[in-house]
């Protein structure tokens, strides 16, 4: 067998929706290279864990975050992307709901923080590039899968969902058409609870019905928001 000394790592782009903006979870590196730079959470895969287990372990260790949605994003393996050794990184795309935001730095990290996607610091390695790819995935995915609900609290206002779509897709959306479209999918439950934001007419809370979504999906229904 050919002698090969390539390391395998995982990195995660974790998105959270806070204060009406899209945020990414970053760690401040405590070791060289790129010491004191901000970077995506991640690290080497252990001998006997799956790739997903590696991501979840690293996220727990480095940030104390447990994600609500996780899927593989892309693998990066250009020689030289890590100045120490050849490292192939399998990257993941993750979403967390606001209530899980009890972040805490730990292993190999001096600090952990959420960054508004519009106000990012310089990132270590090729992490800027990875983040771009993740952002595109998020934008695409939002239009054909109901992943927006993994960024909101279980109970949410329709206006929050709408703002989330506008923020992430970076465009204006007509309130009436949007509401009509989403409601026509029959995947939301309107709760008998109203919330007042302090001013204006109180709004109704809604809840995503995942079972209903899977049921409709099996019957051939396609979630699709332009």
Interface residues with its own copies (CB under 8 A) are: 1-2, 4-8, 44-51, 72, 74-75, 77-79, 86, 88, 90
Give the shortest CB-27-to-DNA separation in angstroms: 35
Residue 107 or 177 having the CB closest to DNA:
177
7 makes contact, choosing from DNA, its own copies, none, with CB < 5 to 8 Å by partner type, with its own copies
- Cα(224)–Cα(213) distance, rounded to whole angstroms? 13
Task: Give the Cα-Cα-Cα angle 194, 199, 201 (nearest 5 degrees).
Answer: 45
198 makes contact, choosing from DNA, its own copies, none, with CB < 5 to 8 Å by partner type, with DNA
196 makes contact, choosing from DNA, its own copies, none, with CB < 5 to 8 Å by partner type, with DNA
- For 134-162, give one letter per residue: b (16+ CB within 10 A) or e: bbebbeebbeebbbbbbbbeeebbbebbb
Residue 37 or 207 having the CB closest to DNA:
207
Residue 27 or 142 having the CB closest to DNA:
142
Give the shortest CB-177-to-its own copies separation in angstroms: 19
Give the shortest CB-85-to-its own copies separation in angstroms: 8
Chain positions contacting DNA, by CB under 7 A: 157-159, 174-177, 179-181, 194, 196-204, 224, 226
Name the residue among 98, 92, 73, 111 with its Cα closest to residue 23.
98
- Cα(130)–Cα(172) distance, rounded to whole angstroms? 26
Residue 213: phi and psi, rounded to 5, are: -60, -45
118 makes contact, choosing from its own copies, DNA, none, with CB < 5 to 8 Å by partner type, with none
Residue 27 or 90 having the CB closest to its own copies:
90
The answer to whether 67 touches 53, Cβ cutoff 8 Å, is: no
Give the shortest CB-202-to-DNA separation in angstroms: 5
DSSP type of residue 109: E
199 makes contact, choosing from its own copies, DNA, none, with CB < 5 to 8 Å by partner type, with DNA
Q: Provide the terminal-to-terminal Cα distance of the chain, rounded to the nearest Å.
A: 51
Give the shortest CB-179-to-DNA separation in angstroms: 5
Q: Sign (positive/negative) of CA torsion 101, 70, 113, 84?
A: positive
- Cα(215)–Cα(167) distance, rounded to whole angstroms? 29
169 makes contact, choosing from its own copies, DNA, none, with CB < 5 to 8 Å by partner type, with none
Give the shortest CB-2-to-its own copies separation in angstroms: 5
Which residue has tokens 């923080």?
113
């Amino acid at each position: 067998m050919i002698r090969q000394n390539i390391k395998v790592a995982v990195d995660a782009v974790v998105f959270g929706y806070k204060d009406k903006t899209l945020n990414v979870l970053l760690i401040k590196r405590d070791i060289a290279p790129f010491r004191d730079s901000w970077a995506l959470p991640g690290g080497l895969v252990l001998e006997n864990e799956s790739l997903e287990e590696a991501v979840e372990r690293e996220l727990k260790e480095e940030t104390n975050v447990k994600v609500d949605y996780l899927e593989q994003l892309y693998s990066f393996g250009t020689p030289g992307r890590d100045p120490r050794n050849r490292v192939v990184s399998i990257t993941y795309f993750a979403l967390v709901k606001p209530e899980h935001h009890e972040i805490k730095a730990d292993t190999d990290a001096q600090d952990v923080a959420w960054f508004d996607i519009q106000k990012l610091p310089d990132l270590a390695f090729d992490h800027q590039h990875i983040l771009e790819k993740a952002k595109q995935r998020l934008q695409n995915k939002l239009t054909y899968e109901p992943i927006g609900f993994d960024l909101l609290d279980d109970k949410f206002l329709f206006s929050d969902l709408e703002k989330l779509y506008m923020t992430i897709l970076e465009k204006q959306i007509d309130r009436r058409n949007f509401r009509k479209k989403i409601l026509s999918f029959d995947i939301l439950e309107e709760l008998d609870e109203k919330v007042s934001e302090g001013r204006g007419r109180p709004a109704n809370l809604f809840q995503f019905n995942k079972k209903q979504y899977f049921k409709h999906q099996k019957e051939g229904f396609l979630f699709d928001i332009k």
